[in-house]
A and B are shown apart, each in its own frame.
Chain A
């Protein structure tokens, strides 16, 4: 597994947590780099700018303003959201492979030239130029119409943005016609430093669970699923995909108000749509990344029922990938008040063989 895939995936999860459209982070990264190129910033800074754009929203994961279950007033939520860039920067500081400047670009991407930004209320030339490019990219991409965005940015010259930076933006806009050309992730810009991709993915999965207010969930599920896979003699590749799926499925619930099984009993038919939607969302986040595509397919089918009445495809029995069945049963088992209740869903929701193996695995764990 490549670190770049994990970073791209986590950046996309950050966007989902913040409510941005899919692909926003990658577009923001590309535009910020294009602006840096227009301004003739040293090439050495481009990689850091790209990764800062890609990871711009990761601070929202776990931030009180975006986290599940928080009942905040609009004013308090806004204040809490001001901490997201600094929290994102703190995460970036723990990722050794990122260029050193990345963290502070994430930290200061919402600072305003006139000092009215957040979190640090830096002003004027105290704000690094790359951070201003990220802010410009954010404003431009958040607008529906490029011409409208150009107007907004012009009005914000001397307020949110350094007038010189706005000039750079205008130059880019007229050269590129307002079209953002996607830039390939600069994998060679990543340093060879710990943590490895596996550890990174696990840390991110922990953060997602904390955001979803289910701390430690993926670890419990991975333990049960792993033991079940061994009992059912799955191939090494299937076991690997299952392990990855355990780490990425929680991202599908990141922008939901509640964890899926808070609204519906994990064995209730009423929750079929809900589970399938979350499965689709998690799969969509992971699918663009080559090393996570297998896991995305596993997650996508976790809403299927053994009797063919599940979602999204209505697959039945052996047509449901065994790894997806295991993942679905392990998730349900984790949520049940009494784990043995899963037995009542054998033959309808879950493959009876999988249910037996999950129950055995749970007994061994106990």
Chain B
């Protein structure tokens, strides 16, 4: 059985918004955005948000939640995603490698069908919303492998339908331009300027213990069940080149050096890592304030 790790850090967008408002920040760049639900919250509250990530599916979801101001998926469109369409030839074996290991035969067939259907959507925004909805269905299945007797058996199409329809509620406009891009941290920081830079840098070598729900979904989106996350991070700033402590610290220092144009830097961390990150931030900025509501949710707020 696959292990689903405990979450060891938390980003609370409500708290982040309080920090941004306290510093009168109206725009934010997040180059390690991950699943951009926190950026969606900030967008809803009028902040112009710009996110970046190395994993493509996060960026695609960003197209649906961040860039998208008004498109959503109607019932008929959702129906064309969640079920096999007549007259369409599907690559039903695409995820056969996962069969019996993580999922049942039926689930693997559906993963293939959904992959094809989502790839055929014409709108980037709808694609992003569909990826998010289907990911939640995928996570439900993963969770069910841990608690098989506690969770209901729901037909895959019904489960996917519910989750995709739900994505509509997060589509919102803030009358600002919001963007996402796939790329490494320095490219994202250089591509945009904003009032604040939000950094939640992944711990050193963390891709080796990445949550299966994250990397497997990138594999799904790429249509490659053998995809490994090391591949995505290989040539990145915090990837293989930053495997040892000093190189990791140098990489973080270079990020902070390139963030000189941002009036405010907010760095999210944990009690475990604060000793490593705080000195780096203090080297880059004269004022650093620590907001520490929990041991696994801390924010270093740096100003000039």
A: which residues have CB within 8 A of B? Answer: 75, 78-79, 86, 89-90, 104, 107, 113-116, 119-126, 154-155, 157-159, 163-164, 166-167
Contact = CB atoms under 8 A, between A and B. Distances in A.
Interface stretch (B77-85, B104-112, B143-151): B143-151
B143 to A, nearest CB: 5
Given A121-B38, A157-B152, A164 B147 contact: yes
14 contacts: A79-B44, A79-B169, A107-B14, A114-B143, A116-B163, A116-B166, A120-B13, A120-B38, A122-B12, A123-B7, A126-B7, A154-B152, A158-B150, A166-B150
Given A79-B44, A167-B150, A125 B37 contact: no
Given A78-B169, A79-B172, A126-B10, A116 B151 contact: no
A115 B144 contact: no
B244 interface: no
Contact of A163 (B12, B14, B35, B147): B147
A157 B147 contact: yes
B262 interface: no
Contacts, number: 70
A254 to B, nearest CB: 24
Given A86-B14, A104-B293, A125-B7, A159 B37 contact: no
Contacts of B144: 158
B96 interface: no
Contact of B140 (A121, A122, A158): A158
Contact of B6 (A104, A121, A125, A157): A125
B174 to A, nearest CB: 12
B136 interface: yes
Main secondary structure, interface of B, reads helix
A158 B147 contact: yes
Contacts of A75: 169
Interface in B3-44: 4, 6-7, 10-14, 18, 35, 37-38, 40-41, 44
B175 interface: no
B150 A120 contact: no
Interface string B265-304: 0000000000000000000000000000110000000000
Query: By CB atoms of chain B within 10 A, which of A90, A125, A167 has the most?
Result: A125
Contact of A115 (B10, B37, B152): B37
Nearest to A100: B293
Given A116-B166, A163-B150, A107 B7 contact: no
Contacts of A163: 143, 146-147, 150-151
A95 to B, nearest CB: 16
Given A119-B13, A120-B38, A155 B152 contact: yes
Interface of B: 4, 6-7, 10-14, 18, 35, 37-38, 40-41, 44, 136, 139-140, 143-144, 146-147, 150-152, 163, 166, 169, 172, 293-294
A122 B152 contact: no
B12 A158 contact: no
A115 B40 CA distance: 13
A79 B163 CA distance: 18
A132 to B, nearest CB: 14
Contacts of B140: 114, 158-159
Given A116-B136, A163-B143, A163-B147, 4 more contacts: A78-B169, A121-B40, A122-B12, A126-B10
A155 B151 CA distance: 7
Contact of B136 (A114, A126, A164, A167): A114
A120 B14 contact: yes
Contacts of B169: 75, 78-79
B170 to A, nearest CB: 8
A180 B162 CA distance: 32
Given A154-B152, A157-B150, A158-B150, A119 B293 contact: no
A155 B10 CA distance: 27
Contact of A89 (B7, B14, B38): B14
Nearest to A118: B41
A122 B169 CA distance: 16
B136 A115 contact: yes
Contacts of A79: 44, 169, 172
Given A157-B147, A157-B150, A158-B144, A120 B12 contact: yes
Nearest to A120: B12
A116 B18 CA distance: 22
Nearest to B132: A115
Of B7, B11, B12, B14, most A-chain CB atoms within 10 Å: B14
Contacts of B10: 122, 126
B151 A119 contact: no
Contacts of A154: 152
Top 10 closest pairs, chain A to chain B, by CB = A163-B150, A163-B147, A158-B151, A86-B14, A121-B37, A126-B7, A125-B7, A125-B6, A158-B143, A126-B10
B213 to A, nearest CB: 9
Contacts of A116: 136, 163, 166
Contacts of B38: 120-121
Nearest to A119: B14
B142 to A, nearest CB: 10
- Name the residue in A125, A154, A158 with the highest tally of chain B Cβ atoms < 10 Å from its Cβ: A158
A83 to B, nearest CB: 8
Contacts of A122: 10, 12
